[in-house]
Amino acid sequence: MRWIVAILAAHVSLVAASAPGGADETAIASEIVESHAIAMHGEPKYEAGFPHFDYINPKAPKGGNLWLASQGTFDSLNPYIVKGTAASGAGLIYDTLMKRADDEAFTLYPLLAESIRYPKDRSWVEFTLDPKARWHDGMPVTVEDVIFSMNILRKQGRPFYRYYFRDIVRMEKTGPRSVKFTFRGGTNRELPLIVAGDLTILPKHYWAKRDFTKFSLDLPLGSGPYRMGKVSPGRRIEYVRVKDYWGKNVAANVGHHNFDLIRYEYFFDVSVMREALKAGQFDFRAENTASAWARAYDIAARRDGLLIQKKFPNGQPSGMQAFIYNMRNPLFADWRVRRALAYAFDFEWTNRNLFFGQYRRTRSYFDNSELASRPGKPRGPVLALLQRLKQRYPGAVPDRVFTTPYTLPIYKDSNIRPGLREAFRLLKEAGWVVRDFRLVNAKTGRPFRFTILLRSPAFERIVLPVRRNLKRLGIDMRIRLVDFSQYVNRVRKFDFDVVVLGWGQSLSPGNEQRGYWTAAAAKRPASNNWSGLQNRAVDDLVEQLIAAPDRKSLVLRTRTLDRLLLNLHLAIPNWHIPFERLVFWDKFGYPDKPTISGADIMTWWFDPAKAARLRSRIASLK
């Protein structure tokens, strides 16, 4: 799973418009790159004509079924609009222009587009479509489909798309199978890759007489490796492998999409879901709860090797799961308040008593990677960049960034008193005092009270000790557990005080950072700037990061952004693990070579011999 999400308020028309200032294409012809692939920085690993990615099994057999599970419900088959809750796996029926390799930081290879063309400054990009590309109804995928997709997603899709593709100022058909995107002036090296890999191509002829903005359970038309099969709203959905899929022999697809049928079964309760897995009602689960990983699967089938528990290494940045403050609430406007509340979270106790010691404390928005800021005070190029930002934007870069290294409280033997004393000192500085055993604002008398919004009952046991510790400071923290639909709607409207969410990251951060941190995103409902951060230095750093000309400058600017975000105290960092915890029945084969992203179920395959042995051994156990 790749967490790439963003938003902005701007709406840019995609009708023909003059291109931004710059050299004429003829004048820079010698600067134009024509290739089968494009890398964010450096050169693609795989040369033209490569047979397949190294990390897959090119001889993986096709066939068999894969039963998966999903929590919650669904009432829509359109994942690209705000209305409704889309079914899991809906993206399986669609293709993009190019496909990402999972053993490189950010490189894309042919899929719907057989080739790519762009100038060295990446001010535009042109794709030539594969003549074999077809929709499931047999119609060819056309340039008109590509242009339609960009238009409909920006005009009627999720707000994310209006931001993500905002710097595209012109699209034009340049040949029978060629389409060109021209970008707004400035340097944004990632835009060609965004268009190539993140623009889902939709069929214009299918949507011509349908309302894209209305959520629906009508089976949509795609061009991808699967088509939707049986649908039972809110209960299950099936995807059937397209036997004559046009792209099955495309190099980037070899070894992928091996199951004939994929089914998602829905469960409201995660504990019921685990019991269903152990009963064989579905095949595979990524376990995200430490206690369940340690105890829930201790059954005869696991001890006999039939049900597998396996850790798969993950080389991606951990991202930042956290208790996130909504700074739109004046209660959290003062950084000292936000910092103070962090002392109430005893991670060491939580990890020892609730997580069986499985987790590491997250100390960076890019933890588990070279992108994370280094401990201690800023030095060298990072220091110089922060100093320039401080001079350019008075008040945006606090002095503590330079003088006080960012740290998280560490409690040995659960001695939390020193931390609570420091928390009380910070609260007192921020204008809060204790009266009648309650913390109140010294000027207004308003009690310090807030609610943490949860959608998972499993998190109650984690936040209850935090509430107890805050109570010792006179703070009234309330816990609100809501269902999935209410949770999603409240988060989209920023209707919460504190929420448990995460900002996912990749090894090549870029345009999605606008949706996480910028002032424009903070003002836009349904964005991922949940904290409401508005900081001119952060906005500037995000743009610098996006414009990074090479890997070295990308790392520098990301580390600087990370250091500034940490010192703004937007959230109370949670925890992470540098691997995936998977539980599955022993009837699959999977590639031996790990990837940066960990295990990809779409590269696994059904093993008939294992499945037969599994059935026989289960029968003998009974």
- pLDDT at position 586 is 97
CA distance 129 to 110: 9
Contact call for residues 179 and 171 (beta carbons, < 8 A): yes
Residue 70 amino acid letter: S
Residue ranges of the chain that CATH labels 3.10.105.10:
320-576
Handedness of CA 53, 54, 60, 66 (dihedral sign): negative
Quote the pTM value. Answer: 0.82
Residue 292 gets which letter from DSSP? I
CA distance 119 to 34: 9
Which of these, 610, 526, 533, 596, lies nearest to 568 by C-alpha position?
Answer: 533
Give Cβ neighbours of residue 29 (< 8 Å, ≥ 6 apart). none
Contact call for residues 383 and 373 (beta carbons, < 8 A): no
Supply 326's token pair: 């909504």
Residue ranges of the chain that CATH labels 3.40.190.10:
1-268
Contact call for residues 326 and 497 (beta carbons, < 8 A): yes
Residue pLDDT, tens place only, 235-290: 999 999 999 999 999 999 999 999 999 999 999 889 999 999 999 999 999 998 89
Residue 26 has pLDDT above 60, yes or no: no
- pLDDT at position 223 is 98
CATH code 3.40.190.10 for 1-268? yes
Residue 586 amino acid letter: D
Where helices occur in 321-416 by DSSP H, the ranges are: 335-342, 347-353, 380-392, 400-403
Residue 348 has pLDDT above 50, yes or no: yes
Confidence of residue 594 (pLDDT cuts 50, 70, 90): confident
Residue 543 gets which letter from DSSP? H
- pLDDT at position 566 is 98
Of 10-14, 399-403, 498-502, 563-567, least confident by mean pLDDT is 10-14
Which helix (DSSP H) or strand (DSSP E) does residue 428 occupy? helix 417-429
CA distance readout (Å), 408 to 32, 236, 539: 49, 43, 25
Residue 295 gets which letter from DSSP? I
Q: What is the CATH number of domain 320-576?
A: 3.10.105.10
Residue pLDDT, tens place only, 491-516: 999 999 999 999 999 999 999 999 99
Phi-psi region of 610 (alpha: psi -120 to 50; beta: other; left: phi over 0): alpha
Residue pLDDT, tens place only, 515-542: 999 999 999 988 999 999 999 999 999 9
- Per-residue burial over 528-542, b = 16 or more CB atoms within 10 Å of its CB, e = otherwise: bbbbbbbbbbbbbbb
CA atoms within 13 A on the CB side of 37: 22
Class of residue 319 by CB neighbours under 10 A (exposed 0-12, middle 13-18, buried 19+): buried
CA atoms within 13 A on the CB side of 320: 25
Of 6-10, 96-100, 148-152, 547-551, least confident by mean pLDDT is 6-10
Of 5-19, 424-438, 554-568, least confident by mean pLDDT is 5-19
| Partners of residue 460 on adjacent β-strands | none
Of 78-87, 452-461, 590-599, least confident by mean pLDDT is 590-599
Contact call for residues 516 and 6 (beta carbons, < 8 A): yes
Residue 23 has pLDDT above 90, yes or no: no
Residue 569 gets which letter from DSSP? T
Residue 169 has pLDDT above 70, yes or no: yes
Which helix (DSSP H) or strand (DSSP E) does residue 240 occupy? strand 236-241
Q: Nearest 5°: phi and psi at 551?
A: -65, -40
Residue 141 gets which letter from DSSP? P
Confidence of residue 157 (pLDDT cuts 50, 70, 90): very high
Where helices occur in 22-180 by DSSP H, the ranges are: 143-156, 159-164
Residue 29 has pLDDT above 50, yes or no: no
Residue 2 has pLDDT above 50, yes or no: no
- pLDDT at position 188 is 84
Contact call for residues 115 and 101 (beta carbons, < 8 A): no
Contact call for residues 600 and 399 (beta carbons, < 8 A): no
Which of these, 150, 191, 187, 201, lies nearest to 172 by C-alpha position?
Answer: 150
Confidence of residue 485 (pLDDT cuts 50, 70, 90): confident
Terminal CA-CA length for the chain: 37
Give Cβ neighbours of residue 591 (< 8 Å, ≥ 6 apart). 55, 56, 57, 255, 603
Confidence of residue 482 (pLDDT cuts 50, 70, 90): very high
Confidence of residue 622 (pLDDT cuts 50, 70, 90): low
- pLDDT at position 620 is 78
Supply 605's token pair: 């395959």
Contact call for residues 75 and 65 (beta carbons, < 8 A): no
Strands, E assignment, 176-225 = 178-183
Class of residue 286 by CB neighbours under 10 A (exposed 0-12, middle 13-18, buried 19+): middle
CA 277 to chain centre: 26
Q: Nearest 5°: phi and psi at 382?
A: -65, -45
Percent of the chain with pLDDT over 90: 85
Residue range 295-318: average pLDDT? 93
